[in-house]
Structure 1
C-alpha cells in the first residue's frame, strides 16, 4: 500500500515512510492510494474476532508487506496489554443508551487506542531501520498524555508536547506534566490550542528544520492514528450486529480535530454498514456550521467550554475529508486551503455540500445542554458521562440504533461532573494520586520561534532549556 499527499506534491511513499513523515513534505496530509474494500463475508468473519485479532486484520490491509504479520501481531498485543478491560473498547448498554467505551487505556481517554500502538510502531521502525525521532505535538487535552504514555522511556525518541496554558483540565495537565522520564518535555504555550497546533504545523512546514531535527508527528495528522481508530468502529459494529452483515448502525462522535469521526468515515468507505455519522460539537461549532451551510469559516474566537478537548477552530483532518469530497482532486484541495489561509473561510459548491450532508449529520451542544445531559443520564441510569461524551449523547437524542462514543473517563473532568450531578465520578487507578505528584513544564509564548528555540536548546543539552 502506497500513500499520497492530499495536496499532490509528493511521490507515493510506503506505510513506514508515511508513519515517520507524519505531515507530508508539501504540507498536506497522507492518505492511502486506494481504500481497501471489505465484503459481507469478511464482515461476518471479523465480527467473531476479539479486538486484537480484528486490529491485525484491519491494519494488515493498510500496512501491506512492509511489516510481517507476526511482527504486527506482536506490536498489537503489546499495545493493548496496557488496557484495563479485556475487550479493550467494550460496548455497554444503559436502559437503551448504547455507549462505546474508549477510555480503558493508561490515560483514560480514547487517544490511547491509537497512541499505544503508534508508540510501539515508532519504536519498532526505529530499531529496525535505525535513527532517532523527535516527536512534536499539540494537545487540547487528551492527545498529549496519551502520546507521552505511548513513548515514555523509549530510547530513540524524544517527545515535546504543547498544550494551551490554563485551557486543559487540571487532571489532564498533571497527566502530562508529572511524567518525568528524561525523554518527555512538556510546553505550556500562552494561547489557544489552535495557536499550539499552528506552531506544530509551522515547524513541520519548515522542511530544513524538520529534516535536521528529525521531527515526527503524533497528532491525528499521522495516518497510523486514523488507522488504529478505525478498528473500534468495526469492533463495535460486530458486537451490535451479531454477525448480520446487513445490520446498519449509526455513530455519534464527539468531534474537535475531525480525526475520530474521519476514522468512522474511512470504515464506512471500506464497506462497514454505517447508517449515519453524527458530528457532535460544542460551542466551537465550525464543523456543524459547515455541514449546515457548506461554508467552513473561522469564528472570531475559540470559546473555552466544559468539553475543552473540542475547543478547536481549525480541524486538521478536515483536509483529508476535502480530498475525498473532491474525488482526489489535489489541485482543488490546495486552492481551497489557500483560500482558507487568506480569508479565514472556504466554501464548497452545492453538489459537494449535498454530499457532505449525505455523509454526516452535525449537532452542536451548549455547556448548559452538556450539563443537562450528564444530569439526565445519571438520574435515569446511574451512568456518568464525561462532558465530551455528553455532547455526543445529546447529539444522538431521538436517533434509533445509534452508538455513542465515550471518549474519556468522567473522572478526568471532575468539576463539570460535580456541577452536573453534585458528585465526582470514582477515579480509575490510573488517575489516583496524580494531583499530589510533582509537575515539570516549560512555559513559552505562543510563537513558532519560541518553541523552535526551546527544541534546539533542549536537544543540544539533553535537558529542558
Structure 2
C-alpha cells in the first residue's frame, strides 16, 4: 500500500512515512493510493473477532508489513489495556432501531482515546526504532488534547504541545489537559476559537523548513492513521448489532465538527462495510449541514454551544472527501482549496450534489433541541446522553426511517459536560477519575491569538 496526497505533489510513501508526515508536504492530506475492498466472506469471518483482533486485521491491509505482526499486535493490546470495558467500544441497545456505541471507555472518557492511545504508542515505537525525536503539535476543541496528552505523557523521546481555545472548552476538558504536570507536556490556552488554533497548526505544518527543523508530528485527524484507527469501530459496531438482529445495512449517526469521525465511516463503507446512511450530526456551527443540503461550504459566525467539541467552522478532513467527490483529481482539489483560501467559500457543482446526498444526510441541532433530547431519553430509557451524543440522537430521529437500524456514536461521557446537564436539570454521579481533577493545580500558558507568540513558545519548548 502506497500513500499519496490529495493535492498530488508528493512522492508515494509507505505507512510509517505517511504517519510521520501527518499533513502532506504539499499542504494536502494523506490518503491511501487505493482503498482496499474486504471480501464479503472475510467480513463474515471477522464477525467473531475481538476488537483488538479486528483492528489488527484492518491495519494489516495498510501497513505493508512495516511493523512486524507481533509488534503490531502488542501495540494494539497495550493501547486498549487501560480501557474500562473489555469490548473497548461496547454497544448499548435503546431499542431494535437505535443502538448507542459507547466510545468513552478510555482514559479521558472521550472517543479520541480510541485512536490516540494507539497513536501515542505508535509514536513511542517509531521513536525507539528509528532513534528519532518526536515533537507532537496539535489543536483541540476539547477532547483531542486530553486524549493525546494521556497517550504520550512521560514517554521518552516525545514532547507534546496542545493549543486549546481559552474558556471555550468544558471545565472537565480543561482540567484533563492542564492538571498534567509532566516535563514533556505544554498546554497553550489561546484567546480565540478552535478554528484560530487549527489555522496556526496547519500553517506550521505547511512550513516545511519549520516542520523539519522541529520534527513536528501530528495527532489531529489530519493524520491518516487516526482516521484508520477510528474506522475499526464502525466495523465492530456493525458486527455487534448483526449478532443481535438480522440486518442488511446499518445507518450511523455521527456527531462531527472536523469531519474526521464521519470520514472514517466513509472509508469503512468504501472498504465494503454495509453502511446505509452516514448522518452528519452538527450543532449551530453547521457548515457541514449546509454543505450537504445546499452544496455550499462556507463558514458562518462562530457560536459557543452546549456541545463545544463540535464548535468548529472549518473542517480539516473535508478535503479528503473532496478528493473522492472529484474522482481523485488532485489538480481539481488543489484548485478548489485555493479558491476556498482566497474567497472563504466553495460552491459544489450541481452535478455532484446527488453523489453528496447519496453519501451523507445531515441535521443541525439547536441548543434547545439538544437539551430536550437529553431529558427525553433520560426519562424514557434511563440512559444519560452527553450533549454531543444528544446531537447524534436528534439527527437519527430527523434522518432515519423507523424501519432502519441506526448506531449513534456516544462520543463522550456526560460527566465531561455537566454544565449543559445542570440546565435541564439532571444530577449525575461523576466517575472518581473526573471528580479528583477539581482538587488539582493547573499548568497552562494563556496567550493572545498570535502566530508569533505561539512560535516563540514552541521554539523554547521543543528539542531539536
TM-score by length of 1: 0.97
Measure, in 1, the Cα distance between the counterparts of 2:244 and 2:123: 35
Shift of 1:352: 1.5
Deviation by residue 1:246-304 (Cα, 9 ceiling, x = unmatched): 721000000100000000000000000001000000000000000011110111x2100
Shift of 1:446: 1.3
Residue 271 of structure 2: aligned partner: 270
- What SS is found at the alignment partner of 2:342? helix
Which has the larger displacement, 278-287 or 122-131?
122-131
Residue 333 of structure 1: aligned partner: 333
Residue 452 of structure 1: aligned partner: 455
Shift of 1:130: 1.3
Measure, in 1, the Cα distance between the counterparts of 2:428 and 2:99: 19
**Residue 426 (str. 1) matches residue 429 (str. 2):** yes
Shift of 1:242: 2.4
Residue 401 of structure 1: aligned partner: 405
Residue 369 of structure 1: aligned partner: 369
- What SS is found at the alignment partner of 1:276? strand
Measure, in 2, the Cα distance between the counterparts of 1:449 and 1:183: 22
Measure, in 1, the Cα distance between the counterparts of 2:367 and 2:380: 20
- Residue segments in structure 1 that go unaligned for 5+ positions in a row: none
Measure, in 1, the Cα distance between the counterparts of 2:226 and 2:245: 28
Residue 106 of structure 1: aligned partner: 107
Measure, in 1, the Cα distance between the counterparts of 2:333 and 2:462: 36
- What SS is found at the alignment partner of 1:397? helix
- What SS is found at the alignment partner of 1:59? helix
Residue 10 of structure 1: aligned partner: 10
Measure, in 2, the Cα distance between the counterparts of 1:444 and 1:19: 30
Residue 173 of structure 2: aligned partner: 172
Residue 410 of structure 1: aligned partner: 414
- Residue segments in structure 2 that go unaligned for 5+ positions in a row: none
Aligned residues: 459
Residue 310 of structure 2: aligned partner: 310
Residue 237 of structure 1: aligned partner: 238
Which has the larger displacement, 26-35 or 341-350?
341-350
- What SS is found at the alignment partner of 1:175? helix
User: What value does the CA root-mean-square deviation take over the aligned residues?
Assistant: 1.3
Are the aligned partners of 1:44 and 1:245 in contact in 2 as well (CA < 8 Å)? Answer: no
Measure, in 2, the Cα distance between the counterparts of 1:94 and 1:246: 16
Are the aligned partners of 1:254 and 1:279 in contact in 2 as well (CA < 8 Å)? Answer: yes
Residue 443 of structure 1: aligned partner: 446
Deviation by residue 1:209-232 (Cα, 9 ceiling, x = unmatched): 111000000000011100000000
Shift of 1:17: 0.5
Measure, in 1, the Cα distance between the counterparts of 2:375 and 2:152: 37
- What SS is found at the alignment partner of 1:112? helix
Are the aligned partners of 1:221 and 1:316 in contact in 2 as well (CA < 8 Å)? Answer: yes
Shift of 1:417: 1.2
Residue 119 of structure 2: aligned partner: 118
TM-score by length of 2: 0.97
- What SS is found at the alignment partner of 2:312? coil
**Residue 45 (str. 1) matches residue 45 (str. 2):** yes
Which has the larger displacement, 95-104 or 83-92?
95-104
**Residue 66 (str. 1) matches residue 70 (str. 2):** no
Measure, in 2, the Cα distance between the counterparts of 1:234 and 1:424: 34
Q: How does 1:286-325 map to 2 (within 5 A)?
A: 286-299=287-300, 301-325=301-325
Are the aligned partners of 1:35 and 1:270 in contact in 2 as well (CA < 8 Å)? Answer: yes
